[in-house]
Chains A and B, each alone.
Chain A
Amino acid sequence: MSTHETVPEPKFPEKHYLNAEYGIRSWLLTTDHKRIAMLYLAAVTFFFFIGGFFAMMIRLHLMTPNGYLLTPDQYNRMFTMHGVTMVFFFLIPSIPAILGNFLIPIMVGAKDLAFPKINLLSWYIYIIGGLFTMWSMINGGLDTGWTFYTPLSTVYSNSAVAPAVIGVFITGFSSILTGLNFLVTVHTMRAPGMTWFRLPLFVWAHYATSLVMVLGTPVIAITLALAGMERLFGLGFFNPAMGGDPILFQHLFWFYSHPAVYIMILPAMGVISELIPTFARKQLFGYHFVAAASLAIAVIGFLVWTHHMFLTGQSTYAAVAFSFLTFVVAIPSAIKVFNWTATLFGGSISFDTPMLYAFGFLGLFLIGGLTGLFLGCLGIDMNIHDTYFVVAHFHYIMVGGAVMGYLGGLHFWWPKITGRMYPEWLARIAAFTLFIGFNFTFFPQFLLGVMGMPRRYHMYPPEFQIYNVMSTAGASILAVGYLLPMIYLTWAAFYGKVAGENPWPATGLEWKTQSPPLTENFEVTPVVTWEAYDFRNRPDLGLDVPGGSGPRIVAPAHGDD
């Protein structure tokens, strides 16, 4: 046993990516992936607030069955713009563009992504797309539902459809370029010794996500282009009055939008795959299976889109086939959940805030995923399609899953990004608040759905009121759970305790650089000789391994010295 050592307080590094250059030009014209990640953080947070504002309006309005707060048209614009903002401007970019951009080069041992300028371009494209969409919001908003079903969106809607469609079209290219960058980076920029199966699962998850981004997003692009032209120039691909087919629109739309939900959840799963081994101090159970499951989700995810269209009058054969595939796509996710749970057994578990978010993810994603199976089951879907059950299902996955992953990741890597720790106890309180608020907001919505309350309703029969009030109450708690991190993370970035290189400690390459990292990430290119999450063979982490470290080659303290 060791004598009690005094660990010296870490010192804040002198030179790092945040102070490498000063001035607005150094930020707006940066090609440093870390700075671009911060640009994304600012923009994405901004849109999250806008989407959150719309959510607040929805919940406030729905407290009463007759909806006295907003007119029907205003309400319809609220839920539409909540959906558009949250899906395209928050959920899809959040983890990949912020955490992915920041971490992937460091995790693979590179100085930057494969195409740094294209990375910056992707941010500008995101901003321009966002501006178009905001133009739509300012000009009266959009009231077609985020799904833009035709002919409502192309012919009948009296709202600012065209700018919104253009905005989402443009933003899609941001996604495509990010995905392209990640794919190429993982293929060609790995440091010596960083083999595919030593990559952190965060990287595997983003690789799978990038496959989806690259293959799926162009399809929504062309679909929205055609819909936009129908709206602006009266073309008739999707308009039955001109011989077009509204169901064709739905097929093209969902061909992307279903895989899009995997773009939203896979990165969060990648975060969880980092958090659980770190806070259980144990190798991830079934690494290869989890990596394969990510790819399986990405691929099979392209084969299930018609489960959004079971009630359009499609053929029974199609319905049966897609229902079957929908059940199949759930299996890789289940495999991951089991592997994460198994990692906990025999571990040394601590309950730091990121781990709390990981636990939250496990429970809530599980419920969200399992309720998805209800929806994929043909006999049941007829009853709950387009009801609040669907709304609850996807919020459990998107918020209970993706947002928990996002916040857990933000907290976990905040010391690396800013060099300072967030206040742990306040963060734990915020995590609990969020968890409780979330469940109060969305669990009643499952009940509403089963009782038959349809979604996108500005008014509802009085028997549904009690659960609506409960949901709104929960939402106000949830809002506090979101605001707290915004405040203390910002505070911590400037005044938090200095974190040092590896406060947790964790095993990834990103934890072998200073916090915050240098612009070029590493002083010397690392040479990797250790496996992922191998706590037992890393003396540099300063942990007590019973029986000492194994005889295998172990990681040197810094780089390859």
Chain B
Amino acid sequence: MTTLFFAVLVTLLVIFAGFKYRRRNEKEVGDAVSGNMALEIGWTVIPLIIAIVIFAWGAVLYVNYRITPKDTLDIYVIGKQWMWKLQQPNGRKEINELHLPVNQDVKLILGSEDVIHNFYVPAFRVKMDVVPGRSNTMWFRPTKTGKYHFFCSQYCGTNHAVMGGWVTVMDPAEYATWLSGEAGAVNPVSAGEKLFSQLACVTCHLANGTGRAPSLNGVYGGKVLLADGSIVVADEAYIRESILQPKAKIVAGYQPVMPTFQGLVTEEQILNLTAYIKSLQSQPVPAKGAGIALPTAGKK
């Protein structure tokens, strides 16, 4: 609106001036006006104020958007040249398709296997880069059933333009039916649990907190006290870092003995482990040896 206002205003002024002050004889000169402080200040300050208002409006919307709601349906999305692999919480996988229930907050956890991609759903007004080496997240809440196009929106090579698909938003009942449809779907939580044992995580991360490593019960989403005194929130990025670069953040009271699994786990395995660890959120947290910083109830 403001854009239109100023564009039209200046255009009209220019056309008006062009007409009113058109040269009437060959040797005519213009008036002796070369400035006006009041005008200068006026048209500096007023646009500045308007600019700040528009900026603030957009910034507030954006900041609010960046706060992801708590209870989301988490979909793991991997972009690679030139397709999308999407995985539902129960393990059901899709390629270039995403089925979702209506009226449910959905969070996409984005990973790339090669170059930078971008997941863009025009109808939902959301878009986020998918950067290799990073775990970006985005969220939205579909409010109408239907089929919606999604696109890759960061140039990624030859078939960038066909690297898209459809989001299908369905009634919750239909979604549930669809979800249980595919036989042999691997539940990421149980796959993660198997990995947790296969990779010997379970030998140190005893659930009861008596192991060499903190218990992971209740860790996801909680605050972790680190050896250097700082506190971090245990989100997906933290779990991923702990698996790949365990020495980066050491939990207070523990030795930096965890080996790294860089090169030993694939992206999908990381996602499955993450899903499993998230599922431990509701498990009982031991009094001693917990991964999260317990409120100092009674303890020094």
Do chains A and B directly touch (beta carbons under 8 Å) in the complex?
yes
Answer whether residue A28 sits at the interface, using C-beta atoms and an 8 A cutoff.
no
> Interface on chain B toward A: helix, strand, loop, or mixed SS?
mixed
| A457:B161 contact, CB within 8 angstroms | yes
List, in ascending order, chain A residues with CB within 8 A of B44's CB. Answer: 331, 335
List, in ascending order, chain B residues with CB within 8 A of A351's CB. Answer: 18, 22
Nearest first, the 5 closest Cβ-Cβ pairs linking A and B are A282-B30, A452-B122, A240-B133, A379-B61, A378-B62
B60 to chain A, nearest CB (A): 8
- One of B147-155, B211-219, B287-295 at the interface: B147-155
Please, how many angstroms separate the alpha-carbon atoms of A312 and B132 in the complex?
11
List, in ascending order, chain A residues with CB within 8 A of B47's CB. Answer: 330-331, 334
- One of A172-180, A315-323, A508-516, A520-528 at the interface: A315-323
Can you list 21 contacts pairing A with B, beta carbon distance less than 8 Å?
A: A72-B159, A143-B157, A149-B116, A149-B154, A151-B114, A152-B116, A240-B132, A240-B133, A247-B134, A285-B35, A286-B34, A289-B40, A311-B129, A323-B59, A327-B54, A344-B14, A344-B18, A370-B7, A371-B3, A387-B153, A457-B160
Answer whether residue A29 sits at the interface, using C-beta atoms and an 8 A cutoff.
no
Answer whether residue A120 sits at the interface, using C-beta atoms and an 8 A cutoff.
no
| A348:B23 contact, CB within 8 angstroms | yes
List, in ascending order, chain B residues with CB within 8 A of A144's CB. Answer: 155
Q: C-beta contact mask, B1-23 vs A, less than 8 Å → 1, else 0?
A: 00100110011011001100111
Partner of A347, one of B21, B54, B127: B21
Q: What is the interface size of chain A, counting residues whose CB is below 8 A from a CB of the partner? A: 90
Q: C-beta contact mask, B29-57 vs A, less than 8 Å → 1, else 0?
A: 11111111001100110011001101101
Answer whether residue B299 sits at the interface, using C-beta atoms and an 8 A cutoff.
no
Answer whether residue A328 sits at the interface, using C-beta atoms and an 8 A cutoff.
yes
| A280:B21 contact, CB within 8 angstroms | yes
Q: Residue on B with the closest CB to A67?
A: B161
- One of A39-47, A90-98, A432-440, A541-549 at the interface: A541-549
Answer whether residue A68 sits at the interface, using C-beta atoms and an 8 A cutoff.
no
A66 to chain B, nearest CB (A): 10
| A377:B40 contact, CB within 8 angstroms | no
Partner of A341, one of B10, B32, B126, B136: B10
Please, how many angstroms separate the alpha-carbon atoms of A335 and B132 in the complex?
42
| A452:B161 contact, CB within 8 angstroms | no
| A338:B31 contact, CB within 8 angstroms | no
Q: Residue on B with the closest CB to A505?
A: B27
A447 to chain B, nearest CB (A): 13
Interface centre among A280, A324, A350, A379 (most CB of B within 10 A): A379
| B18:A456 contact, CB within 8 angstroms | no
Beta-carbon contacts under 8 Å, A150-176 to B: 151-152, 155-157
Please, how many angstroms separate the alpha-carbon atoms of A149 and B57 in the complex?
31
Interface centre among B34, B152, B161 (most CB of A within 10 A): B34
Answer whether residue A460 sits at the interface, using C-beta atoms and an 8 A cutoff.
yes
Beta-carbon contacts under 8 Å, A95-135 to B: none
Answer whether residue A8 sits at the interface, using C-beta atoms and an 8 A cutoff.
no
- One of A12-20, A255-263, A358-366 at the interface: A358-366
Interface centre among B114, B115, B120 (most CB of A within 10 A): B115
| B153:A347 contact, CB within 8 angstroms | no
Question: Given that A350-B22, A374-B3, A379-B61 are contacting pairs, would A286 and B35 also be in contact in the complex, using a CB cutoff of 8 Å?
Answer: yes
B272 to chain A, nearest CB (A): 21
Partner of B55, one of A157, A327, A371: A327
